[in-house]
Structure formats: structure tokens, C-alpha cells
């Protein structure tokens, strides 16, 4: 069967004559160049495709980093504002604590002044009593002489007045001691609260400073990436 087909093809008329063969030869000879051109175009298309994908990826990465940088800058501004508010509040608390301490010192100095006045009255009272007892002793020893009634009465009046003043001052002193004890306790409690609040605010400020330093480091790292890409 195969032999018959070969014989038939050998004796059959050719498909192309000599002229048609000569006209087809240039196109057949140029077929490799066309293949090379097609292959080059395919390579260019692949290169452009991957280049476009690379640029798009880098663009998305830059956009994400810019958004992150803006968020870090906003958070940095917020931290600065919080630090400013904390600093102002801390200054106010410190000024209040100083004022309360000054009031306490003033009250204590006034209390000491009253104590010195009471001590002076007591000393004067003792001197008057000593003088009165001396006068009474002299009046007993000297029976023939008339006692100095005027001096004795004067001393008695002065002693009674001094006793009265001492009693009044002792009552005032007790009241002042009670008031000073309560006032000192209140001022000490307020001072302790102010000191505790100052320590708390100082710790918070240090925490915010650490957060700010970390954010600045992240910002510097984000600023370095575009430079690295440019260097590449």
C-alpha cells in the first residue's frame, strides 16, 4: 500500500511550478528572521510586564510607608501635646504644694510666737507671786510696822489679772493646738497627695518620652528606606 502511494506521488503533477517556487523562496528564507523578531518582541513584552509589576509593587510599598510615616508624625504631635499638658499640670501642682507649705510654715511661726507670749506671761506671773510672797513675809516679820496695803492690793490685782490672762491664753493655746493639729494633718495629707501626684505625672511623662523616642527611631528608619531604594 505504501509503495503504491509513493509511485502515485512520483508520477503525479507537482503542486508548484518553477516560477511559484522561485517566488516562495524569499519568504521561506526570511522565516528565521521573523521568528527572531517575534521572540525579541515576546522578551520585550515579558520585560515590560515584570518592570511594570516591579514599579507598581514599589509604588504600593512607598505609599504604605508614607501613610505609616504620616501616622507616626500625627502620633508624635499627639505625644508632644500630652507632654505639654502634663508639664503644665505638674507645674500647677508644684506651685500649689509650695503655697500650702508656705501657709503651714506661717501658721507654725504664728503658733511659736503665741507660745513665747504665754511663756512671758507665765514668767511675769511667777515674778509677781514671788514678790507678793516676799511682801507677805516681810509684813509678818515686821508686826510693829503697818503693811503697805496699797502695794499689796496692787500686786494682788496685777496677779489676778495675770492669772486671768494666763488662763485665757492657755484656753486659746489649747484651741490653737487643736486647730493646728487638724490644720497640720490636713496640710500634710494634701502635701502627700500632691507629692504622689507629682511622682505619678513624672512617671507618665517618662513613659511618654520613651514612646516618643521609639517613634522617632521608627521615623528615622522609615526615612532611610527611600534613600536605600535610590542608592540601589
pLDDT in tens, 8-63: 555 555 444 555 444 444 444 445 677 788 888 888 889 898 888 888 888 888 88
**Below-50 pLDDT ranges, the chain:** 1, 5, 14-16, 20-30, 143-147, 227-232
Three-state SS string across the chain, please?
CHHHHHHHHHHCCCCCCHHHHHHHHHHHHCHHHHHHHHHHHHHHHHHHHHHHHHHHHHHHHHHHHHHHHHHHHHHHHHHHHHHHHHHHHHHHHHHHHHHHHHHHHHHHHHHHHHHHHHHHHHHHHHHHHHHHHHHHHHHHHCCCCCCCHHHHHHHHHHHHHHHHHHHHHHHHHHHHHHHHHHHHHHHHHHHHHHHHHHHHHHHHHHHHHHHHHHHHHHHHHHHHHHHHHHHC
Q: How far is 163 from 129, CA to CA, in rounded Å?
A: 10
Percent of the chain with pLDDT over 90: 0
Say if domain 23-231 classifies as CATH 1.10.287: yes
Phi-psi region of 75 (alpha: psi -120 to 50; beta: other; left: phi over 0): alpha
pLDDT of residue 91: 86
Q: Where are the domains of the chain?
A: 23-231
pLDDT of residue 146: 47
Q: How far is 22 from 32, CA to CA, in rounded Å?
A: 18
Amino acid at each position: 500500500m505504501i509503495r503504491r502511494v509513493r509511485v502515485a506521488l512520483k508520477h503525479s503533477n507537482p503542486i508548484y511550478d518553477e516560477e511559484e517556487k522561485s517566488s516562495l523562496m524569499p519568504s521561506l528564507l526570511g522565516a528565521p528572521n521573523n521568528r527572531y523578531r517575534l521572540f525579541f518582541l515576546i522578551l520585550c513584552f515579558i520585560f515590560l510586564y515584570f518592570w511594570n509589576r516591579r514599579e507598581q509593587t514599589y509604588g504600593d510599598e512607598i505609599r504604605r510607608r508614607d501613610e505609616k510615616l504620616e501616622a507616626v508624625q500625627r502620633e508624635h504631635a499627639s505625644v508632644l501635646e500630652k507632654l505639654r499638658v502634663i508639664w503644665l499640670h505638674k507645674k500647677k501642682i508644684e506651685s500649689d504644694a509650695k503655697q500650702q507649705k508656705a501657709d503651714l510654715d506661717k501658721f507654725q511661726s504664728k503658733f511659736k510666737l503665741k507660745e513665747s507670749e504665754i511663756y512671758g506671761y507665765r514668767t511675769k506671773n511667777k515674778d509677781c507671786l514671788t514678790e507678793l510672797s516676799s511682801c507677805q513675809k516681810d509684813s509678818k516679820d515686821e508686826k510693829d510696822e503697818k503693811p503697805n496695803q496699797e502695794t499689796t492690793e496692787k500686786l494682788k490685782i496685777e496677779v489676778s489679772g495675770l492669772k486671768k490672762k494666763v488662763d485665757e491664753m492657755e484656753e486659746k493655746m489649747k484651741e490653737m493646738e487643736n486647730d493646728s493639729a487638724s490644720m497640720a494633718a490636713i496640710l500634710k495629707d494634701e502635701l502627700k497627695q500632691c507629692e504622689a501626684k507629682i511622682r505619678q505625672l513624672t512617671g507618665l511623662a517618662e513613659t511618654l518620652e520613651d514612646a516618643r523616642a521609639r517613634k522617632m527611631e521608627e521615623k528615622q528608619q522609615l526615612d532611610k528606606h527611600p534613600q536605600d531604594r535610590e542608592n540601589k
